[in-house]
Structure 1
Amino acid sequence: MTRASVRVIPLGGVGEIGKNATVIETKTDLLLIDAGVKFPEEEMLGVDLVIPDFSYVLDNLHRLRGILLTHSHEDHTGAIPYLLQQAGRRLPIFGSRLTLGLLREKLREQKVEHLAALEEVTAGERRRFGVFEVEFMGVSHSVPDSLALIIRTPIGVFFHTGDWKFDDTPIQGYVTDVEHLRALGDAGVLALMSDCVRVEVPGRTPSERVVAEALATIFASAPGRILVSTFASNVTRLVEVIQLAHQHGRKVAAVGRAMEQTIRVAGELGYLPPLPGVLVDLDQIRRLPPRQVALLVSGSQGEPTSALARIAANDHPVIRLRKDDTVVLSATPIPGNEETVGQTIDNLFRRGARVIYRAVMENVHVSGHASRDELRYLIELLRPRFCLPLHGEYRMMVLYRDLAATAGVPPERTCLAEIGEVVEFTPQSVRKVGRVKAGAVLVDGLTVGRVTHVVLRDRRRLAEEGIIIAAVAVDRETGRVVGGPELAARGFVHADLEGLLERAKREILKTLNGRRPRGEAEYGYLVGKIKESLGRLIFSETRRHPLILPLVTEV
């Protein structure tokens, strides 16, 4: 690294959607911007989450001046507990009030709160981190308290957008300040590090207010209970539902641990409207007439063990769908989740509910990300010398480079970085100068009784702990087991392996044939059940955590 240079290293979030994490550094100082998770792709059987490989940060903790969080969504904060676990020491973490409030709950769950030195920052505040001075700027997004970062370095200003859009009429949160951006451009911006996930979408992203209007029409006409599923961290959407429920004489209960947690924390921090008596426990909801009930349900991405998936499979301990129920999916599938979301929607229809999702009512969800015209306008306002697209798949990064060229940034000045590539900036140039150790680490959260044992897996750990493969064939119509289960172990050694696998087969049969739903077999649901029952049995007998790969064939 030359003396008059700054290096940027994406550890995640480029060439993919999720696990956003970016290093910006000089010889003496290092900042980590965000540390998010990614949902596993369907072929990644046995894996619950994917996080960045933080080896480079862990090897340079002596230079780490802070972890800066742009907002509270899991794809930007979800890996923090695992990073702290690996570091084994207190790390300084900076974020807005809501971001840190929701993060604190995650840290308590993972029992690593003592490893986090949390410091709250507000929009407009400036902080010094070694040679870096960072100004935190409020921006519009789908969650309040979202921040962009204006990073003043020895060679010039770097602008990191975080997740953002231009929304002149937000329900909550900041309006992205056009005049402040123009003033930054007038003063000079060396590099723009921009979210590019919606560069394929023409025009501007609609305001969050159109969602409130769409939900209002649903609340006005629904004959029975209303179940709304969205990202649990989408606090603004939760506020809209709570306000509408109050206007229409409905009580609101949270269904799902993530939803319960977000509502409790947001309420304690003052982000929910002060409407006494509207929020009630799920047990109280059961005693109310259907027209007085609204439910906020976690699981909008079709996660197999989520509250919504269990309701759709008729497997939830409290909620059973009725003919007059209206289920609203106020979210769009993350790339890779389309099939599981589709299966959940199918199963909701099978239960007899009225189901509303974006394909049938477009404004039931809008994105929190800027579309093409907004991305171009930001480039025109800031007039950066260089661009570095982040938070997007590779085709989106290429399209962003093309867009930047139409806004005055020549293609050779927009750098398309892969995960782990080192991008060096000087006042006159940008170039790739090497790679660092980077990639993906797999998180396997094995639930044993009421305790979740989190295992971080890379190739070395897999080799040490082994793999157990469970193959089963089920009837597509009834969900009953018609073949298997067949079990095989690779790299897993046990004194009575044959006996253990026989007991495991019986446990899988008991779990699948004893399931409440009598009907369609949902692939993700069955995979989750196999993994849970098999993991519990193996841990109880061996105290070990092999990777469990369920293979379900529907016939």
Structure 2
Amino acid sequence: MSKKMNNDKLTIFALGGVAEIGKNMYVVQYANDIVVIDAGLKFPEEDMLGIDIVIPDITYLTENRDKVRGIVLTHGHEDHIGGLPYVLKNLNVPVYGTKLTLGLVENKLKEAGLLGDTKRVLIHADSEIQLGSTLKATFFKTNHSIPDSVGVCIETPEGNVVHTGDFKFDHTPVNDQFADLHRMGEIGKKGVLALLSDSTNAEKPGFTPSEKNVGIVLDDIFRKAQQRVVVATFASNVHRIQQVIDATYSTDRKLTIIGRSMVNVVTIAAELGYLNVPDGILIDPDEVNKMAADRVVILCTGSQGEPMSALTRMARSTHRKVDILPGDTVIIAATPVPGNEKYVGRTIDELFRLGAEVIYSGSNSGVHVSGHGSQEELKLMLNLMRPKYFIPVHGEYRMLRKHALLGESVGIDPDNIFLLDIGEMVEIQNGAARKAGKVPAGNVLIDGLGVGDVGNIVLRDRKLLSQDGILVVVVTLSKQDGTIVSGPDIISRGFVYVRESEGLLEEANRIVSSTLEKLMSENVNEWASLKTNVKDSLGRFLYEQTRRRPMILPIIMEV
């Protein structure tokens, strides 16, 4: 490590993942070396109309691109790798990840046409990587709901910064990849300057149950099911997928996989040796209806009630290949992500209407356990690391606050715990830490092929259109004397049904005509003034009549 200069500072901040669930991206900077940990996405909130996904704002990184030494990935979930194709278009830096994580990333980069341009570096739990002249990264194994998850220790001249990644302490993991408690203890013994730790389950007391428990429950359900079994889970929950495969095999059934993301993950994980798929167990979706109902398992996407997912389409009887039949057993092996409860509830209702037996996590069924540690595991991590400074990450603000209280309960000085918003920096110099200003941070919205071209104003217009509709007013004026040559013609969309509101629209026509004639008589012929007056007078009239405020677009032409 290079000798510390007193005027160099260590800076830590999040561009996503604090005070929110998703789009995790954390930055550690010392002098002229920047390391980025993860580059995730999150799904849009309800008021983000038409938006497909949300990624972090990386303005700070692009402005300092010559200092960014690489992006280090903790594991292969969408909220940690989903933003990479967009980030790498603007920031061509090396990407470091474990075997399965890079396998999933490469699939994304291939789709985005970036595979050839991106340097990918394979790491494992014993790797050491030098990142610039002042930073070095080492790793430690963790348990999560996907194999090959690691935590990261960034060695800096100020001290060690540890990011746990997503973790739980599962003492009977499905893949026998145990969390490396010894390595964590060693890192803690050497001294941890700052710990960034997963806060997802900071509100949940006790311990998170083992993933193995789910396998036992699935096996039992499969044996009792009289007909087909449909299992919906996260495509990236590789451990859960393995347990579905095991239960299918032990009950002598055949398995078909439906949903593009599920097929992708199963293909990659099986090719890389992270899924054990017995020969002859997989069948094509077309064969499902040709087999006896009690011999079939269908593994699909849709555990979050997503409108276009396989399970939702089956529930609505619009899937091309599979219909849900009375007596089928449907297992939703996931809990709803905050904000998705309504969609999941609707899907469950529709499945019950079709006569299916639905087993879901809200019914205390044991078909889901979290991949994140609960309070006692978070305390264990804090005690293993014994950090001087503690920064709770990966959670909504209330989760970060609860995690901070857990930190206090195990003896961390409250003054050494930092609750951050995205962009807020913690600066550490000569061992002393303080909050120090902000870097640009926020949401970049992706709509179709457009990245960041939809902002607050466009969203506001979409919201307005969705609430009260739009009226387009078309008028043609004479160039010579300013009289109305044709129109006004009023086109309504989403405001009122024209055939039932002819009286209202005729009166609206009359108001537009009289407004324009009055302005012409006063020699007002600036188009901006004409349009503003038409909007104001028509808007007032429509609000008085309907208590609605549609968007009004006047189009004035001259001939």
Find 1:287's aligned residue among 274, 287, 290.
Answer: 290
**Cα distance change of structure 1 residues 155 and 431 upon mapping to structure 2, 3 Å threshold:** same
* TM-aligned CA deviation for residue 269 of structure 1: 0.9
**Cα distance change of structure 1 residues 72 and 166 upon mapping to structure 2, 3 Å threshold:** same
User: What is the aligned partner in structure 1 of residue 194 from structure 2?
Assistant: 191
Structure-to-structure mapping, 1:221-236, within 5 angstroms: 221-236=224-239
1:19 to 2:35 alignment: no
User: What is the aligned partner in structure 2 of residue 146 from structure 1?
Assistant: 149
Find 1:129's aligned residue among 123, 131, 138.
Answer: 131
Deviations 1:443-495 (A, max 9, x none): 113xxxxxxx45433428949x98597659xxxxxxxxxxxx955699xxxxx
Deviations 1:214-259 (A, max 9, x none): 1111111011111111110111111111111111111111111111
What is the CA–CA distance in structure 1 between the aligned matches of 2:379 and 2:410, rounded to whole Å? 6
Structure-to-structure mapping, 1:415-426, within 5 angstroms: 415-426=418-429
**Cα distance change of structure 1 residues 65 and 284 upon mapping to structure 2, 3 Å threshold:** same
Q: Residue type matched to 2:110 in 1?
A: R
Structure-to-structure mapping, 1:113-262, within 5 angstroms: 113-130=115-132, 131-172=134-175, 174-262=177-265
**Cα distance change of structure 1 residues 397 and 274 upon mapping to structure 2, 3 Å threshold:** closer
What is the CA–CA distance in structure 2 between the aligned matches of 1:499 and 1:145, rounded to whole Å? 61
What is the CA–CA distance in structure 2 between the aligned matches of 1:471 and 1:150, rounded to whole Å? 48
User: What is the aligned partner in structure 2 of residue 85 from structure 1?
Assistant: 89
What is the CA–CA distance in structure 1 between the aligned matches of 2:19 and 2:341, rounded to whole Å? 19
CA contact (8 A) 1:470 1:486 kept: yes
Larger displacement relative to structure 2 (198-207 or 44-53): 44-53
- The DSSP-based 3-state class of the residue aligned with 1:286 is helix
* TM-aligned CA deviation for residue 274 of structure 1: 4.2
What is the CA–CA distance in structure 1 between the aligned matches of 2:116 and 2:57, rounded to whole Å? 22
What is the CA–CA distance in structure 1 between the aligned matches of 2:471 and 2:153, rounded to whole Å? 53
**Cα distance change of structure 1 residues 456 and 287 upon mapping to structure 2, 3 Å threshold:** farther
What is the CA–CA distance in structure 1 between the aligned matches of 2:311 and 2:384, rounded to whole Å? 42
User: What is the aligned partner in structure 2 of residue 535 from structure 1?
Assistant: none
Find 2:107's aligned residue among 102, 105, 108.
Answer: 105
- The DSSP-based 3-state class of the residue aligned with 1:367 is coil
* TM-aligned CA deviation for residue 91 of structure 1: 2.2
Q: Residue type matched to 1:58 in 2?
A: T
1:296 to 2:289 alignment: no
- The DSSP-based 3-state class of the residue aligned with 2:242 is helix
Deviations 1:322-347 (A, max 9, x none): 01211111101111111111111111
* TM-aligned CA deviation for residue 301 of structure 1: 1.0
Deviations 1:394-442 (A, max 9, x none): 1111111111111110111000111011111235322111111110011
* TM-aligned CA deviation for residue 360 of structure 1: 1.6
CA contact (8 A) 2:326 2:356 kept: yes
**Cα distance change of structure 1 residues 414 and 351 upon mapping to structure 2, 3 Å threshold:** same
Q: Residue type matched to 1:32 in 2?
A: V
* TM-aligned CA deviation for residue 499 of structure 1: 12
Find 2:67's aligned residue among 48, 63, 70.
Answer: 63
What is the CA–CA distance in structure 1 between the aligned matches of 2:341 and 2:117, rounded to whole Å? 36
User: What is the aligned partner in structure 1 of residue 80 from structure 2?
Assistant: 76
Aligned length: 477
CA contact (8 A) 2:203 2:375 kept: yes
- The DSSP-based 3-state class of the residue aligned with 2:94 is strand
CA contact (8 A) 2:382 2:410 kept: yes
- The DSSP-based 3-state class of the residue aligned with 2:283 is coil
Find 2:38's aligned residue among 18, 34, 37.
Answer: 34
CA contact (8 A) 1:259 1:298 kept: yes
CA contact (8 A) 1:133 1:151 kept: yes
What is the CA–CA distance in structure 1 between the aligned matches of 2:257 and 2:9, rounded to whole Å? 50
* TM-aligned CA deviation for residue 162 of structure 1: 0.3
User: What is the aligned partner in structure 2 of residue 48 from structure 1?
Assistant: 52
Structure-to-structure mapping, 1:449-460, within 5 angstroms: 453-459=449-455
What is the CA–CA distance in structure 2 between the aligned matches of 1:396 and 1:390, rounded to whole Å? 9
User: What is the aligned partner in structure 2 of residue 328 from structure 1?
Assistant: 331
What is the CA–CA distance in structure 2 between the aligned matches of 1:13 and 1:154, rounded to whole Å? 26
Q: % of aligned pairs identical? A: 42
What is the CA–CA distance in structure 1 between the aligned matches of 2:407 and 2:463, rounded to whole Å? 49
User: What is the aligned partner in structure 2 of residue 511 from structure 1?
Assistant: none
Deviations 1:471-530 (A, max 9, x none): 59xxxxxxxxxxxx955699xxxxxxx99998xx99xxxxxxxxxxxxxxxxxxxxxxxx
CA contact (8 A) 1:415 1:430 kept: no
Report the aligned-residue RMSD: 2.6
- The DSSP-based 3-state class of the residue aligned with 1:457 is coil
**Cα distance change of structure 1 residues 21 and 135 upon mapping to structure 2, 3 Å threshold:** same
1:3 to 2:11 alignment: no
CA contact (8 A) 1:468 1:487 kept: no
What is the CA–CA distance in structure 1 between the aligned matches of 2:275 and 2:68, rounded to whole Å? 35
Q: Residue type matched to 2:104 in 1?
A: L
What is the CA–CA distance in structure 1 between the aligned matches of 2:207 and 2:491, rounded to whole Å? 58
CA contact (8 A) 1:469 1:489 kept: no
- The DSSP-based 3-state class of the residue aligned with 2:421 is coil
**Cα distance change of structure 1 residues 489 and 54 upon mapping to structure 2, 3 Å threshold:** farther
What is the CA–CA distance in structure 2 between the aligned matches of 1:269 and 1:140, rounded to whole Å? 19
**Cα distance change of structure 1 residues 158 and 193 upon mapping to structure 2, 3 Å threshold:** same
What is the CA–CA distance in structure 2 between the aligned matches of 1:80 and 1:45, rounded to whole Å? 23
- Structure 1 residue runs of 5 or longer lacking an equivalent are 446-452, 473-484, 491-497, 507-550
* TM-aligned CA deviation for residue 45 of structure 1: 1.7
Structure-to-structure mapping, 1:371-382, within 5 angstroms: 371-382=374-385
Q: Residue type matched to 1:40 in 2?
A: P
What is the CA–CA distance in structure 2 between the aligned matches of 1:203 and 1:325, rounded to whole Å? 35
- The DSSP-based 3-state class of the residue aligned with 2:387 is coil
**Cα distance change of structure 1 residues 311 and 489 upon mapping to structure 2, 3 Å threshold:** farther
CA contact (8 A) 2:142 2:150 kept: yes
Q: Residue type matched to 2:361 in 1?
A: R
What is the CA–CA distance in structure 2 between the aligned matches of 1:40 and 1:107, rounded to whole Å? 22
CA contact (8 A) 1:470 1:488 kept: no
Deviations 1:338-379 (A, max 9, x none): 111111111111221110011223421001111101111111
* TM-aligned CA deviation for residue 393 of structure 1: 0.8
Find 2:447's aligned residue among 444, 451, 471.
Answer: 444
- Structure 2 residue runs of 5 or longer lacking an equivalent are 474-488, 498-549, 551-559
- The DSSP-based 3-state class of the residue aligned with 1:171 is coil
TM-score w.r.t. structure 2 length?
Answer: 0.81
**Cα distance change of structure 1 residues 500 and 159 upon mapping to structure 2, 3 Å threshold:** farther
User: What is the aligned partner in structure 1 of residue 312 from structure 2?
Assistant: 309
* TM-aligned CA deviation for residue 57 of structure 1: 1.1
